[in-house]
Amino acid sequence: MRNEERSSEWPWLITGTLLLIASCALLLLVYRDTAGQFPIPMYQAVFYFFMPYSLLFVLPLAFWGSFGFLWQSKRFGALVLGIATVIGLLDAMWLAAHWGLGYRYQGSALTLGVTIANAVGLGAVATLSAMGLLERSKTFSAAAYFVLFEVLVFFAFPFFGSHES
């Protein structure tokens, strides 16, 4: 095990959580400035509808709570890869099921762009996870877990429906 691998999870927890809060704030600004026309993740739209500022904290707190628990596991890399695989499969099924809504309400360019962003983000997560397993590196696995949460903040499970009342 390398020296960097013996480090604590605290730098990842603090930095990752703060960056996720900043990402959620950016998402909130974009969503408000585009009058809800940018397809954000469905669960973020629900948080925004019921309590607009709650979306600033839900995913960062989920990251904080789960990362510390997973970091302590001897199977950290495998768990991250497993979680990423499940989320990737569910996201692909979501996109397939809502493709028509995306084309109808968001247009082909935006629907395709969000789909490509999902694929690139989840591909990066899979690559980092695989590198973490092959190199037995918690650093790569931690980076994969953080990038997975960034994908969850911005692109996964997009709401493609109409925002009209």
Confidence of residue 4 (pLDDT cuts 50, 70, 90): very low
| The pLDDT of residue 5 | 52
The answer, yes or no, to whether residue 2 has pLDDT greater than 60, is: no
User: Distance between CA 132 and CA 141 in Å, rounded?
Assistant: 5
Query: Rounded to the nearest 5°, which phi and psi values hold at 161?
Result: -70, 180
Can you give the residue range of the structural domain that contains 25?
3-154
| The pLDDT of residue 97 | 93
pLDDT, tens only, 8-54 = 889 999 999 999 999 999 988 887 777 666 777 888 878 877 887 88
Residue 160 falls inside a structural domain: no
pTM: 0.89
pLDDT, tens only, 71-108 = 999 999 999 999 999 999 999 999 999 999 888 888 88
The answer, yes or no, to whether residue 7 has pLDDT greater than 90, is: no
The answer, yes or no, to whether residue 144 has pLDDT greater than 70, is: yes
The total of structural domains in the chain comes to 1
Residue 35 falls inside a structural domain: yes
The answer, yes or no, to whether residue 128 has pLDDT greater than 60, is: yes
Residue 159 falls inside a structural domain: no
| The pLDDT of residue 35 | 64
Cβ-in-10-Å burial (0-12, 13-18, 19+) of 88 comes to buried
Residue 129 falls inside a structural domain: yes
| The pLDDT of residue 165 | 42
